[in-house]
A and B are shown apart, each in its own frame.
Chain A
Amino acid sequence: MVSIVFAGVGGQGVITVAMIIGKAAVMEERNALMTELHGMAQRGGRISVDVRIGDYRSAIIPIRSADLLVGFEELEAVRNLGKLRKDGIVILNRRRVHPVSMTIRKMDYPDDLIREQLEKFQVIDVDADGIAFKLGNKRVANTVMIGALHSTGVLGLREESIIRAIQGSLPDKLWEVNMKALEEGKKIVPLQAARTK
């Protein structure tokens, strides 16, 4: 049984990624639940998606119960930290989307707050946008994130199911670059683990 929170901003593809994980679980005949929360904005509002794999009835993850938090945006990751277990893992794309209410007041992005809050957890930094840029298609950033998420081993899903689930959500011509993105994503966790040792 595993619970994962995905958090980001509208337009980042948060729901698509969460759905790929859910579908991969269902392909393995596992029970999966997913629920999303977003406000009235079509773009730029906050989004969080809860995915639970296993014998659950509640799609909403209780406070301090998530095993993983996948952050697509720094502030939104911090906003959802309360859902994460004390020993939970944060997988974070270092992307910043400034809230308009801060911009109007000419406030800088709250780096100190973010650092302070994230310190309490094990954080895996993923430069998903940078890697995607190097691969020549910035849209594969989310596949890099999936690779990193998978390589934690916490999901307990077979790589083959994840690949099939990604495949199901893509046109064929984007297939190759997404496979490369997945491979790059998979390298991140072992690399960072080696570094901390």
Chain B
Amino acid sequence: MPYDVLLGQEGKKEFLLGNEAVVRGIYEAGVSVASTYPGTPSSEIGDILYVLGNRMGIKFEFATNEKVALEIGAAAASGGLRSFVFMKHVGLNVAMDSFVSLAESGVRGGMVVLSADDPSMHSSQSEQDNRYIGKFVKSVVLEPSNPQELKDFIVAAFDLSEFAGHPVLVRSTTRISHVRAVVKFGKPREKNEWNYRKNPSLVLIPENAYKAQESLWQRIVKVSKSKYANYFNRTYGSSDTLIITSGSAYNYVEEALSKLMKEARILKVGMSFPLDTEGIMQEVRKAEKVVFVEEGGPFIEEQVLAECALQSVSKKFYGKSNGMVPYSYEMDVDRVASSLSRVFEVDYEPVQSAGGAPNREPVLCPGCPHRATYYVATLAMRQKGIRSPIAPTDIGCYTLGFYDPYRLGDFCYSMGSSIGSSSGFSMVAKEKVISFIGDSTFFHAGIPALVNAYHNNHNFLLVIMDNSTTAMTGGQPTPETSPPFNRVDIESVVRGIGIKDVFIIDPYDLKDSLETFKKALSSERLSVVISRRECALEADRKKPLSELKVFQVNQDKCTRCYNCIRNFSCAAFYTEEGRVKIDPELCDGCSVCSEPLVCPFNAIEVVE
């Protein structure tokens, strides 16, 4: 089995992805319950637990969204079990309502929430720094720097959580969760027994919440005064320049210093809330210059500067607050060296990358049913005389419809925002509103918005692109996945709301899909097209070799009208001296481009 190495003996060393180290960590910590909604860069944790959960004695499930996941974990922790909930950074926004309450109530069994932040937005809509959320809700905040620490901090976080009766937020980032490094295993601990007692602080009516508020601050103070205050921090090196750093930013500091041939004293913060201000201020007092190198906002920096103001300590400070360290995007050795060069007043100009290479935008895979859906939707609108629709879209592979040639993507904020914004657009816009959402996103946050749209009588066309999987994060199951789970049928949900104009298409059948789209576009009220076709990557995995075929362009028949590349635009097409060709390595054999609606000259043929 692929992930079996994670069950290895104490003392073993493996080359693990940060997310794999997380799974080992919760196994060692004796976690009983875990839940998530998939999101990059945390997705692999769920993939592994889905396979390995039972053997690790961990009850794991993919929840419909992050808020549900957090509440599953909170229930387990209230009965004394250890629970673990994980998500990408923006997922914590969805879970926020209950996360605030969780910190208010406190926990009995250890509970750790992992947020995988994504500085530089490699696969996200923002680079929010969730350490601020941790401080805002007043949970403990830990910041590991590498896969080994990710595992070790998680194990310690559970002990800390149980010691203080308080949840712990572990903040990872892309360059920790998605870094592979050597990780040494520890010993798995026994699991806690279920031991539920009624507890009024879990019922946050005003009277109980009023008491919980006092206890919350006591829990934070308890952590500050315990051995944990500086347990996760480390200080070394001798110099009157002090660099305070944390998380993945720490990884770049020493190599940057060696590039500049300089030295510094390094204070690596592992627990950034509550902060060990006493220990840190001792170091600050000894230093002449104090530099803050963090990824995200000036989180530690602001806390230390506030303490310096309180204690009237004045030093030369270098950080994000005074523009000495950049605010945005992930750090690396070159960026840190460039910031430090200002501290040491030396020159450092990293040579820029070789330029000139044309961009390679992300694309829908060959065979992707979304491409066919976008193609017919566009064709139907053209035939109905709809020139410039407003097309809210959502979070998933289909967001790529934003790019040429489809250009169907006018609004995309967060999970489910396509439908909410469509209500708003259809309330005021003169343009036709046609909105796109995927199946998993529909379940996650689309349903309340669709209820709103129907109830308030909004008029737009919603296209639910149902590929029966959470494709963009690697193909996790959805509420439609069955067996062993109960299948939730999207059509029944939509009809159950009361919506009358519901159409089902198979996007590979272009002719029928075109007629159906035109019907749906003629509707004068809220209508829904469910475009149903399995993700091509998933389908390919099941396809027997005998069914594999590829297509080619018959140059004798091709008239060079270029409709295929201009409007259908499969990633397997390319041009050479004006000729359209198909890369056989990339062709998925879906055959959609050979339909007369894409190639009216029947020039695209199967390679015999």
Contacts and interface: CB of A to CB of B under 8 A. Distances in A.
Contact of B15 (A32, A35, A82, A102): A32
B534 interface: no
Interface in A19-45: 19, 22-23, 26, 31-45
B384 interface: no
A76 B178 CA distance: 21
Nearest to B255: A58
B15 A106 contact: no
Contacts of A106: 562, 565, 575, 578
A172 interface: no
A94 interface: no
B362 A35 contact: no
Contacts of B255: 56-58, 62
A137 B175 CA distance: 35
Sorting the interface of chain A by its residue count into under 10, 10 to 19, 20 to 34 or 35 or more gives 35 or more
B122 interface: yes
A35 B586 CA distance: 26
A64 interface: yes
Given A45-B363, A58-B333, A97-B583, A40 B472 contact: yes
B403 to A, nearest CB: 8
Interface in B354-381: 354, 356-366
Given A26-B13, A41-B362, A46-B360, A58 B251 contact: yes
A63 B364 CA distance: 31
Interface string B433-454: 0000000000000000000000
A192 B356 CA distance: 28
A9 B350 CA distance: 27
Interface in A86-139: 97-104, 106-110, 113, 117
Given A103-B573, A103-B574, A63 B583 contact: no
Interface string B571-590: 10111111000010010000
A75 B181 contact: no
B181 A59 contact: yes
Contacts of B180: 19, 22, 32-35, 59
B15 A23 contact: yes
A45 B351 contact: no
Q: Which of B252, B362, B565 has the most CB of A within 10 A?
A: B362
Nearest to A86: B351
B353 interface: yes
Contact of B362 (A39, A75, A113): A39
Interface string B110-137: 0000000000001100000000000000
Contact of B399 (A9, A40, A75): A40
A103 B565 contact: yes
A180 interface: no
B234 to A, nearest CB: 13
Nearest to A38: B122
Contact of B179 (A42, A59, A79, A108): A59
A81 B452 CA distance: 52
Contact of B571 (A23, A35, A43): A43
B136 to A, nearest CB: 29
Contacts of A100: 361, 363, 404, 569, 571, 573
Nearest to A120: B354
Contacts of A108: 575-577
Given A41-B362, A63-B334, A82 B352 contact: yes
21 contacts: A26-B14, A26-B15, A32-B180, A34-B179, A40-B362, A41-B362, A42-B537, A44-B363, A63-B334, A78-B356, A79-B357, A79-B360, A82-B351, A97-B583, A99-B360, A100-B573, A103-B565, A103-B573, A103-B574, A109-B574, A110-B358
Given A31-B181, A75-B357, 17 more contacts: A39-B123, A39-B362, A42-B537, A57-B145, A57-B254, A59-B180, A62-B350, A76-B360, A78-B356, A78-B357, A98-B573, A100-B404, A103-B574, A106-B575, A106-B578, A109-B574, A117-B357
**Pairs of residues from A and B, 9 with the lowest C-beta to C-beta distance, nearest first:** A82-B353, A41-B362, A98-B574, A34-B180, A43-B365, A81-B354, A62-B333, A99-B360, A79-B357
Interface of B: 13-15, 122-123, 145-146, 175, 178-182, 250-252, 254-255, 259, 332-334, 337, 350-354, 356-366, 397, 399-400, 403-405, 471-472, 537, 562, 565-566, 569, 571, 573-578, 583, 586
Interface of A: 9, 11, 19, 22-23, 26, 31-46, 56-60, 62-64, 75-76, 78-83, 97-104, 106-110, 113, 117
